[in-house]
Amino acid sequence: MPKLSVEERIHSFKEVALGYTEKQAIAEAKRCLQCKVPRCVEGCPVNIDIPAFIKFISEGRFEEAIKKVREKNSLPAICGRVCPQETQCMGRCVRGIKGTPINIGALERFVADWERRTGRIKTEVAPPTGRKVAVVGSGPAGLTAAAELAKLGHDVTIFEALHKPGGVLMYGIPEFRMPKDIVIDEINYVKSLGVKIETDIIIGKVITLNELFEMGFDAVFIGTGAGLPRFLGIPGENLCGIYSANEFLIRINLMKAYRFPEYDTPVKVGKRVAVIGGGNVAMDAARSALRLGGDVTVIYRRTELEMPARREEIENAKEEGVKFLFLATPVRFIGDDKGWVRAVECVRMRLGEPDETGRRRPIPIEGSEFKVEADTVVVAIGQRPNPIAVRGEKSIKLTSHGTIVVNPETYETTRRGVFAGGDIVTGNATVISAMGAAKKAAKAIHEYLMGGGDN
């Protein structure tokens, strides 16, 4: 996949991956073996008929290719960009056993971008069923559930707490990985199916679940994600200059801090920035801070091998000049007399036996404390589910982690007529897993409604 030069990247928020040309896409598609038992499809949580859409590309039949993808995936321009294909479809491709797997994500992105350039292909929508569904949250789970239900003829309204729909795609993943005009385009596709979107409405505060049913909705899908930041819980974490990754990225992506003064909502990025964590969120925060002029060091308690971030994003971060400090973890933040952070005191770690995640457990080395100078710190160590939508709803059972308990087949919660999927059920995961769950939930909601389901 061709990429923007490093020089151009570090001074802008322009998209880094440039996408295939028609010629490159056809050449890549021609490498596909058209396996009779395609292992790639088994690796796709939404079961796209991968060999079929790749065959269409290899023949230059791009319209048929995008139609094939859209049969199973309502957000292909998004998935083609941010899905961890290397551990899903592409990770299973037989071409990868002895050589290079087919770049399925890049091909999916290619046909989605081709459709954007040449005009949207109309999707068939079933005649109205007269049943109404409320979808809470407009991230990948909410958008997918809404699209699937609208295609089946249901009257769907999405309620979103923020002023813009899109969830993490809009407020979390930066422009240089997920351009916002593409997210808006995919949202417009969902709207073109008849879905209505109401922003600035926090379900659980402005409208309760009971009130949604009183308003005439026959079923509810909850896709409220995992948007609550986790903190380290160490001394000094309240000093000025220390952000949660959520706040830092929301200021940059949703409030467009990188376009100050055109947008009057800046974010303060100091000379030396420390980002704590090793996942995609940490990489996004580090690369954003670098673009805003910081000298950035990622502090991670294990080694590069155990980092949960996508390899491609770690490589991009390194190319751009982000530094990495492995096998270290903060134990306290040190501030100046005005209350601003000045340094992170860390302790060195060693790796022990594998823990429940299969990764080797980091163990602190006693007496190995040292300081890293920093005037901005971004804590990116994970998110928790946001409980507001179901707070006080005794009929909806939660796990000890705050995620919603659902029937694993139907995604129905412990309250009849209320379904849930995405990060609010699994804890923070991936775009495609949220979409996969939402598709299954939509199917179950449809069966519930057509079976005469009454709450």
Cβ-based neighbours of 163, under 8 Å, separated by 6 or more: 199, 200
Q: Could you tell me how many residues of this chain bind ligand FAD (CB under 6 A)? A: 42
Fill in the DSSP letter of residue 259. Answer: G
Whether residue 132 contacts residue 160, with contact meaning beta carbons closer than 8 Å, is answered with no
In the list ligand SF4, ligand FAD, none, the entry touching 249 (Cβ below 5 to 8 angstroms by class) is ligand FAD
Fill in the DSSP letter of residue 136. Answer: E
Other Cβ atoms less than 10 A from the Cβ of 89: the count is 27
In the list ligand SF4, ligand FAD, none, the entry touching 284 (Cβ below 5 to 8 angstroms by class) is ligand FAD
In the list ligand FAD, ligand SF4, none, the entry touching 140 (Cβ below 5 to 8 angstroms by class) is ligand FAD
From candidates 38, 43, 101, 140, binder to ligand FAD by CB under 6 A: 140
By beta-carbon proximity to ligand SF4, the closer residue of 32 and 274 is 32
Fill in the DSSP letter of residue 295. Answer: E
Compute the least distance from the CB of residue 35 to ligand SF4, in Å: 3
Fill in the DSSP letter of residue 121. Answer: P
By beta-carbon proximity to ligand SF4, the closer residue of 94 and 228 is 94
3-state DSSP helix/strand/coil percent for the chain, to nearest 5?
35, 20, 45
27 sits near ligand SF4 (criterion: CB under 6 A):
no
Tokens 């899905």, residue located: 83
Cβ-based neighbours of 146, under 8 Å, separated by 6 or more: 133, 135, 138, 156, 158, 190, 193, 195, 221
Tokens 């929301």, residue located: 250
Compute the least distance from the CB of residue 2 to ligand FAD, in Å: 19
Tokens 């499809």, residue located: 41
86 sits near ligand SF4 (criterion: CB under 6 A):
no
First to last CA, the chain: 50
- Count the alpha carbons within 13 Å of 424 in the hemisphere toward its beta carbon: 32
Q: Is the peptide bond before 261 cis (omega within 30 degrees of 0)?
A: yes
Amino acid identity for residue 191 in this structure? K
76 sits near ligand FAD (criterion: CB under 6 A):
no
Amino acid identity for residue 78 in this structure? I
Compute the least distance from the CB of residue 342 to ligand FAD, in Å: 26
Tokens of 143: 């958008």
Distance CA 383, CA 228 (A): 5
> 427: left (phi > 0), else alpha (psi -120 to 50), else beta?
left
80 sits near ligand FAD (criterion: CB under 6 A):
no
Distance CA 317, CA 15 (A): 14
In the list ligand FAD, ligand SF4, none, the entry touching 35 (Cβ below 5 to 8 angstroms by class) is ligand SF4
Compute the least distance from the CB of residue 326 to ligand FAD, in Å: 21
100 sits near ligand SF4 (criterion: CB under 6 A):
no
The 151-190 contact track toward ligand FAD, x by CB under 6 A, reads: --------xxxx----xx---xx-----------------
| Interacting positions 286-345 with ligand SF4 (CB under 6 A) | none
* Stretch near ligand FAD under the rule CB under 6 A, chosen from 15-23, 80-88, 209-217, 398-406: 80-88
102 sits near ligand SF4 (criterion: CB under 6 A):
yes
18 sits near ligand SF4 (criterion: CB under 6 A):
no
209 sits near ligand FAD (criterion: CB under 6 A):
no
The closest alpha carbon to 437, from 84, 18, 10, 148, belongs to 148
From candidates 74, 244, 329, 386, binder to ligand FAD by CB under 6 A: 386
207 sits near ligand FAD (criterion: CB under 6 A):
no
138 sits near ligand FAD (criterion: CB under 6 A):
yes
From candidates 80, 84, 294, 382, binder to ligand FAD by CB under 6 A: 84
In the list ligand SF4, ligand FAD, none, the entry touching 94 (Cβ below 5 to 8 angstroms by class) is ligand SF4
The 35-74 contact track toward ligand SF4, x by CB under 6 A, reads: x--xxx---------xx--x--------------------
94 sits near ligand SF4 (criterion: CB under 6 A):
yes
Q: Could you tell me how many residues of this chain bind ligand SF4 (CB under 6 A)? A: 15
Whether residue 108 contacts residue 177, with contact meaning beta carbons closer than 8 Å, is answered with no
By beta-carbon proximity to ligand SF4, the closer residue of 53 and 221 is 53
**DSSP secondary structure of 137-167:** --SHHHHHHHHHHHHTT-EEEEE-SSSSS-T
Tokens 């796209």, residue located: 48
Binding site for ligand FAD (CB under 6 A): 82-84, 136-142, 159-162, 167-168, 172-173, 202-204, 223-225, 227, 249, 280-281, 284, 310, 386, 388-389, 422-424, 428-432, 434
The residue ranges that bind ligand SF4 (CB under 6 A) are 32-35, 38-40, 50-51, 54, 93-95, 102, 104
